[in-house]
Structure 1
């Protein structure tokens, strides 16, 4: 009799990283993925693809333990708010009670000495995972290339103008799809990735350099307009975003613009070893999303 495949719970399964991680896991024959949802409508769409779903809401603690029953491995993806600290804790407490063995956590940039608020929050979650005794893989993606498509529902490139807040500083980038590819590998093959902290950033560029590359590749003029981080903060306030989190992002932008984040340009060579292919770099990403940038 064949051994039952391990079950992998994917939180945030209808979001960008979670959905792509789920897609990658479906290509693996080693595991059975389980997608978390918060509504029957979202469950139906996934079930139509043959994907098992469970109801889980980070803000409803009564949904956690039932969703985690029978789960062997979990991908922890929280929202962009200070609530992520409480949400992560109660999720991990329930995961420990349910017998989950391996946790892959989607964190944030930086080395262990990071002091930018939301980066540090994610590192506190990492320590809590370790304290609980889980087998673990920590993912620390650098800046997402997808931020050039939109951020919190706000378009970043309009009529060839990139409006961002980091001056002329260069920093490291990663395609979110590549983050999902690493997550899927860590979930499918924990014996290869347990105990690892993977920093994920593969192309260092300023927004000005990105605009120049877009101009060269797409045949239309693009330019970068550097704005004050305070403009970002007011835009997020008007959008009703969580301001505790967005204040941290504003601080991040300010420090990057002032060149006060050591190692912000660092890139890494781990991706081919983890996935067996080269990472996406800016030229690849621009070509892949050319329709979104064209005007």
Structure 2
């Protein structure tokens, strides 16, 4: 029997696959772009087409599978988009679904992850909900454009603090839960980094690492929304989910630090400075 990793070419999914392979576990990488998956992993894993909006892909994707890493694709803003696949997993008697959720989502019904968690529990699937803090890769990914082009962190988080975690650490956590699925059935895990930083402190670290002045400009929610939809052409559904998250962040929901990562892996999480140093090339200035 094998472990299915959805979103296998994404920020977290690729690290789940790599950690599972390091553990010697047979793994199937799933996604809608098989060519991209083969480029990422070569012949190290099996590949399968999986489109949450096409139920005809479910049967083949779940063939010979007994555990699943499940993540919501960013472009699917409605929790109901994942319900048919969750139903399919239930019919196949999946032994464990590790769902990539969000920190604090158990008391925050706004993000779609809240209802997805509840639905997994409702249908009776054995689960391990993984609730990470904000990804460090948010800054090297979606938010890197403003850093590269304007020396600005354009995030509507106000004066809040965030306990960032590296996606590689999230991947290791998920792989551990899937490896030891009997021990972790029907559990929840909030994983964070070891420090809670303001975006002003993040800007200072990036300035020190890059050798140039990077500022946190603290945009309003409305200004951020308009910029990402109108100037960046990011889909509205994705932007609205991030707006909900940053609204909660302003209320202090992202600042808490836990030791769940250490308890799962017996390792210390990566610091943001370590992450910035190893990804220094991503944060280099780009002239427009």
C-alpha change, 1:163 and 1:157, in structure 2 (3 Å) is farther
Q: Which residue of 1 aligns with 2:8?
A: 13
Moved more, 223-232 or 278-287: 223-232
**Aligned partner of residue 123 in structure 1, secondary structure:** helix
Residue in structure 2 matched with residue 250 of structure 1 by the alignment: 243
Q: Which stretch of the first structure deviates more once superposed, 275-284 or 82-91?
A: 82-91
In structure 2, the residue matched to 1:286 is 276
CA-to-aligned-CA distance 1:41-82 (integer Å, 9 cap, x gap)? 235436732311112111111111221122100011121245
Equivalent residues in 2 for 1:1-295 (5 A)? 6-29=1-24, 31-42=25-36, 44-45=38-39, 48-110=42-104, 112-115=106-109, 117-118=110-111, 121-151=112-142, 154-202=145-193, 203-238=195-230, 239-257=232-250, 261-295=251-285
Whether the aligned pair in 1 keeps the contact of 2:144 and 2:283 (CA below 8 Å) is no
* RMSD across aligned positions (CA): 2.2
* Alpha-carbon distance in structure 2 between the residues aligned to 1:254 and 1:11: 28
Report the alpha carbon displacement of residue 220 of structure 1 after superposing the two structures with TM: 3.0
- State the distance in 1 between where 2:78 and 2:224 align: 21
Gaps of 5+ in 1: 1-5
2-structure distance, mates of 1:292, 1:28: 29
What are the superposed Cα offsets for residues 175-221 of structure 1, whole Å, 9 maximum, x if unpaired? 11111110111111212322221112222111101112233344433
Render the CA deviation track for 1:205-253: whole Å, top value 9, x for unaligned. Answer: 1110111223334443322212122122113323444424422422433
CA distance in 1, matches of 2:44, 2:163: 37
Gap change, CA 1:20 and 1:57, over 3 Å in 2: same
More strand by share: 1
User: TM-score by structure 1 length?
Assistant: 0.87
Preserved contact between residue 99 and residue 117 of structure 2 (Cα < 8 Å): yes
Structure 2 gaps, min length 5: none
Cα separation, partners in 2 of 1:286 and 1:227, compared to 1, 3 Å: same
The count of corresponding residues between Structure 1 and Structure 2 is 283
Work out the CA distance in 2 between the residues paired with 1:22 and 1:97: 24
C-alpha displacement of 1:131? 2.0
Q: Is the 8 A contact 1:74 1:104 kept in 2?
A: yes
Does the C-alpha gap of structure 1 residues 61 and 153 become closer, same or farther in structure 2, counting only changes over 3 Å?
farther
1:54 counterpart SS class: strand
Could you tell me how far 1:153 is from its partner in structure 2? 7.9
Q: Distance between the aligned counterparts of 1:264 and 1:247, measured in 2?
A: 18
